[in-house]
Structure 1
Amino acid sequence: MKAKGKVIFFGEHAVVYGYTALSLPINLSTNVNIKKNDNLVIELKNLNKKLGFEEAKKDKDFRYVIKAIELLKVKEPFFLSVSSELPVSCGLGSSASVVVATIRALSKFFNLNLPKKEIAKLSHRVEREVQGKASITDTYTISYERALKIRNNEFSFIDEFEKTVREEKLYIAYVEEREMKTADLIKVVSEKEEKEEIFKEIEEITREALSSDVERIKELMLENHKLLDKLGVSTKGLNRVVRLAKKFGCGAKLTGAGGGGCVIILGDLNEEEKELIEKIVKSLYLA
């Protein structure tokens, strides 16, 4: 069973303070396969790890899968294999994608027939119990596979916004490994004296984006990125990619907590433009 990743299109960091964020599912995904086995064994293909259940419980790389299995209280032994196209710790919801794919696979294998709403709730609970606290953004966007407007951990579907965005190509540039953890970046933002003023500007951009055409959305992405840079969560590498994308007539901004990671680029790049971007990033994906 597969589960997609996600990007935050507008509103990251501001959403932590009760403002609005817009999220979107992407086509990079995690795949979880389950088959009958004499013992419960878990394989993480990307990390080249394969452990029995008790051994896996001691390894933090397995913690999201372990928690999902424990939460569903399944008892029959099986072999579970996880592989993913998503780079980790760069704002694309890699852990949430693993959780959702695992719960979907367990639901199918054990004939639990869990609806999307229940999968979203269970997946959020797994992330919350593993991390200590978690927004619904990643798990709900991935579980429903629809664009969401999120505010104060409540959500609504924004299908028209996604339809508008998808009028042009959406790329994800994996620029660099993140320099700081999300919690540390949130602390950096919390210490900014002008943060409330910046959040209000981000909120205006986010609200306008919901009713804008694709060309205006591109402009708003660039404006949102400038404000995230003011908050201190961008980097020279991210800014360089955003500037180049702007030069090519695209919208672009960092996505997620920042401090490195990914830039989303909205626009139709030609082959030469793609090659120039690929030279300064780790990977460029069509999302």
Structure 2
Amino acid sequence: MITAQAPGKLYIAGEYAVVETGLPAIIVALNQFVTVTIEESQHYGSIVSKQYQENSLYWSRQGDELVFDNRDNPFHYILSAIRLTEKYVREMGKPLALYHLHINSELDSQDGKKYGLGSSAAVTVATVKALLDFYQVPLTKDRLYKLAAIAHLDVQGNGSLGDIAASVYGGWIAYRSFDRSWLAAIRRETTLVELINMDWPQLSIELLTPPENLQLMIGWTGSPASTSQLVDRITIAKAKRRDAYHHFLHESKLCLEQMIAGFKAKDLKQIQAQIRRNRELLHELSDFSQVSIETPLLQKMCDLAESFHGAAKSSGAGGGDCGIALLDKTLATEKLAKSWIDAGIEQLDLAVHHVTL
């Protein structure tokens, strides 16, 4: 039996801008996991997941038709990961087999709460990782990232793939996304094996070490959001408000470069200052796009953190889900945790996870 795990993630800063080629974000991997096990089978294969049997689906109207958005259904990511990895395996001259694939996720709570920790990315990474092991293909982080990124992109169609990078590399990372238009073009004229061995234009994944006194606190507001749909709405605003959008991208790049420099200098104050600046920029993006990124409860979470000398903001696409606060761990963080509870915000007891293959 083969077993593989991939951790969840949270965005620290650089959301939305990171979907543009080469623009930076900081992401952290967390110690909650998706676990995939594979067991060879003789007669038929199966995919089984207790958590996803009653998965939520998002839908909209096109005229009188119900249109379902499968980008939020984890089974589609699992199937995409299987198809792509097995194509890679076949290109390497290995025969395919039947197997039972079991998925177990810690990224959603036992009562079905969705915390926004990147379960679709983690399940994609864990599936690719388990299959490479099952088919005895040598595993590297670069190979795992590229296969999982393509499989995830084939389903979601947008996004930066930073959550894939966090699940593969672990820890704190500075991430810059590759040129997705290049990927779409090169896939038409190269084999998958050749593509995985190539350097991908502008892709950058750099491990960061935080200051020793940095404390990461995560608050969950109890309101799950659909990342893919929020990114779609920002894409529409990008076309209508081009000047405002390019100003946002320019300022986000400057902010993240200063924040990355703060990590390298082990300067918590500098990191916190740029967290606050990134929050301001997300407010500007929300205003001109008319997309609700920082909900009232996320605003309350951030304002409470500021009152305890922390720097805080929404995490990821916003619209609900999680917010993050960075504090000096020598301060009384227990008081902030209690104030969050009193405001109806759940502190998630999570730690940074460092990946080894």
Task: Measure, in 1, the Cα distance between the counterparts of 2:117 and 2:237.
Answer: 20
Determine the structure 2 residue equivalent to 1:55. Answer: none
Letter in 2 for 1:26: L
Partner in structure 1 of residue 153 of structure 2: 128
Once the two structures are TM-superposed, the CA of residue 169 in structure 1 deviates from its matched residue by 2.4
Please give the per-residue CA displacement for 1:56-114, whole angstroms capped at 9, x wherever unaligned: xxx95411111211222273222211122224876532211101111111122232223
Partner residue, 1:239? 299
CA contact (8 A) 2:8 2:118 kept: yes
For residue 145 of structure 1, report the CA deviation from its aligned partner: 2.2
SS of 1:83's equivalent? strand
Deviation at 1:183, TM superposition (A): 3.1
Q: Are residues 78 and 174 of structure 1, via their aligned partners in 2, closer, same or farther at CA, if it must alter by over 3 Å? A: same
CA RMSD between the two structures: 2.8
Equivalent runs, 1:1-287 vs 2, <5 Å: 1-18=4-21, 19-38=23-42, 39-48=44-53, 60-73=73-86, 75-87=96-108, 91-146=116-171, 147-153=173-179, 154-159=202-207, 162-164=208-210, 167-175=213-221, 176-178=223-225, 181-187=229-235, 189-190=237-238, 191-192=240-241, 194-212=244-262, 213-232=267-286, 233-267=293-327, 268=329, 270-279=333-342, 280-287=344-351
Shift of 1:32: 1.2
Residues 164-188 of structure 1, C-alpha deviation per residue, up to 9 Å, x if partnerless? 2564222222222227723344246
Question: Residues of 2 paired with 1:132 and 1:26: CA distance?
Answer: 25
Q: Give, in angstroms, the shift of residue 135 of structure 1.
A: 2.4
Q: Please give the secondary structure, in 1, of the residue aligned with 2:28.
A: strand
The superposition leaves residues 39-66 of structure 1 with CA deviations (integer Å, 9 ceiling, x where unpaired) of 31111122346xxxxxxxxx95411111
Q: What SS does the corresponding residue of 1:234 show, helix, strand or coil?
A: coil
Structure whose CA Rg is larger:
2
Q: Is the 8 A contact 1:22 1:150 kept in 2?
A: no
Please tell me whether the aligned partners of residues 116 and 225 of structure 2 are also in contact (alpha carbons under 8 angstroms). Answer: no
1:263, CA displacement in angstroms? 0.6
Residue 165 and residue 48 in structure 1: after superposition, are their counterparts in 2 closer, same or farther (change >3 A)?
farther
- Unaligned 5+ segments in structure 2 are 55-71, 87-94, 180-201, 287-292, 352-357
Aligned residues with identical type, % of pairs:
28
C-alpha separation in 1, matches of 2:73 and 2:261:
43
Query: C-alpha separation between the residues in 1 aligned to 2:129 and 2:226?
Result: 33
Letter in 2 for 1:254: S
Residues 12 and 230 of structure 1, relative CA distance in 2, 3 Å threshold: same
User: How has the CA–CA distance of structure 1 residues 105 and 264 changed in structure 2, closer, same or farther, with 3 Å as cutoff?
Assistant: same
Secondary structure of 1:285 counterpart: coil
8 Å CA contact 1:252, 1:266 repeated in 2: yes
CA distance in 1, matches of 2:142, 2:226: 35
Residues in 1 aligned to 2:210 and 2:79: alpha-carbon distance in whole angstroms? 38
1:218, distance to aligned residue in structure 2 (A): 1.6
CA distance in 2, matches of 1:201, 1:133: 22
**What is the CA–CA distance in structure 2 between the aligned matches of 1:17 and 1:90, rounded to whole Å?**
25
> 2 CA distance for matches of 1:151 and 1:124?
10
Q: Is the 8 A contact 2:159 2:231 kept in 1?
A: no
Unpaired runs of 5+ residues, structure 1, are 50-58
Which whole-Å CA distance do the structure 1 matches of 2:237 and 2:24 have between them?
Answer: 17
SS at match of 2:214: coil
Distance 2:212 2:49 in 1: 32
- 1: distance between equivalents of 2:13 and 2:159? 18
CA distance in 2, matches of 1:141, 1:91: 14
Find the counterpart in structure 1 of residue 183 from structure 2: none
Residue type of the partner of 2:76? R
Q: Which secondary structure state, in structure 2, belongs to the residue aligned with residue 111 of structure 1?
A: coil
Number of corresponding residues: 277
AA at the equivalent of 2:37: N
